[in-house]
Amino acid sequence: MNVPATGMEACPGVFVTGTDTDVGKTLVSAILAKAWGADYWKPYQTGVASLPGDTETVAALLGPEGGHVLHAPACVLQAPLAPWAAARAEGVTLEMAGLRPPRTAAPLVVEGAGGLYVPVDDDHMMIDLAARLALPVVLVARSTLGTINHTLLSLRALRAQALPVMGVVMNGPPSPGNREALERFGQVPVIAEIPRLERVDAASVAVAAARIPALAVLARAVRSAG
C-alpha cells in the first residue's frame, strides 16, 4: 500500500505520527512548530462533533507571536473515527491520491491522524500519506509501560517502507529505562522528552520548544543515516 513519493516535491519539515491515538501528537506538533518557526497542517481532521479541531488547538498553543501559518485541513469530518470510517458515515469519498501539501515559505509540521495503520481511504493508510509527502517522520510515543512494544513495532513498519525516521518524542513522566530501550533496540534517537505539563498553554509550549534540537541539525542526521 506504500505510495512512492515520485512526482511530489519534498518540502522541508516533518510528518508527526504516533504509536496510538491520544498519544500527544497535537501537543508535540505545536512544540515543534514553535521551536522551528514552522507552519502547521493537519490534512485529515475527524471528531469535531465533540471536540475542537487540532488546528484550533495548535493555534491556541502557539499564541499570537511567531508568524506561524496554520493551513486548513483538506477534509474535516464529524465523527471521532479514522478518516476512512468517518467519511463513510457522512457519505464523503476520500481519495488520498489527489492530496497536495500547501505551499510554504517556512518548514511544515504535518500531523497525521492516529497511528500509522489508520485507514485514510479505501486503498491507503496513514503510513502511505507519510510516504507521499516525502517528509522525515517524528514518532510520538508514551513514556509509560507498554511503549517499548508499540514504538518498536511502529519503527519496524516505517523501515519496512524505507521511510526516514528523524526520531522519537516521548510524552509523559520521564522513564530513563524506556528511553534506553527505545534508542538501543529501535536504533533511533529520542529527540525530546515532554514531561506531564501542569498547564498546557502557550507559555508551557514555548518552554518545551526551547529544548528541541534545531531542525537543520536533525535533518542532517537523517541524511547521514540514509
Going by the annotation, the residues of the binding site are 22-27, 46, 54, 111-114, 195-197
- Alpha carbon distances (Å) from 72 to 38, 178, 221: 15, 36, 31
Residue 101, CB-side half-sphere exposure with 13 Å CA sphere: 30
Instruction: Calculate Rg over the CA atoms of the chain.
Output: 16
How many other CB atoms are found less than 10 A from the CB of residue 100?
Answer: 11
Tell me the binding residues for Mg(2+): 26, 54, 111
Grid cell listed for 102: 500547501
- Mind telling me the catalytic residues? 42
- 150 burial class (0-12, 13-18, 19+ CB within 10 angstroms)? middle
Tell me the binding residues for substrate: 46
For the four alpha carbons of 107, 142, 123 and 83, in that order, the dihedral sign comes to negative
Return the beta strands (E) in 127-195 as ranges: 137-142, 165-171, 190-194
Output DSSP code: residue 14. Answer: E
CB 18 within 8 Å of CB 140? yes
CB 31 within 8 Å of CB 209? yes
